[in-house]
A = this chain, B = another copy of it.
């Protein structure tokens, strides 16, 4: 009930900065390298429209197709992301849980995480630069009290290509 009320603590951190989100997008991880197939399926099955796609530049062998870091699709005006599961997300998908993460785009990731944690979420790891995920930029994660993972990231850049190198 008091989650909006700043506590009188020793730290002089900003009291409850306003956090706003510019997008909410479920991200569906699929066993790598099936994300491309999944995108084709969602187009055929649900007439999803592909908005953008970012690929992982690294691949294990030259003949392999690059993995899909994130493909953004739209149905009925709502966006969702499809991604090849690697690392942690691969464990989630392989364990039979489904690999859905909810992405929230915000200009102020630290404040968004702090607010979620004060409401009862558990922060997972540190905020880090994370190429491609959710449109790229800085990314942080929390798990909510009901087991769902929420990923905060800086807003997706419009497709202008990579500015650096």
- Which of B97, B100, B121 is A45 in contact with, Cβ under 8 Å? B121
Q: Does A132 contact B (CB under 8 A)?
A: no
Shortest A89–chain B CB gap in Å is 12
- Which of B46, B112, B144 is A41 in contact with, Cβ under 8 Å? B144
Shortest A143–chain B CB gap in Å is 10
* Interchain CB contact under 8 A, A46 and B78: no
Q: Does A9 contact B (CB under 8 A)?
A: no
* Interchain CB contact under 8 A, B98 and A45: no
Q: Does A31 contact B (CB under 8 A)?
A: yes
Given contacts A38-B146, A41-B144, A45-B121, contact A24 B97 (CB under 8 A): no
Residues in A145-162 with C-beta less than 8 Å from chain B: 145-148, 150
Nearest B residue to A149 by beta-carbon distance?
A: B98
Can you pick out 20 interface pairs between chain A and chain B where the beta carbons lie within 8 Å of each other? A19-B47, A21-B47, A21-B75, A21-B76, A24-B75, A25-B78, A26-B102, A28-B148, A34-B146, A38-B145, A41-B144, A44-B115, A44-B119, A45-B115, A75-B104, A76-B105, A78-B78, A80-B102, A95-B96, A100-B148
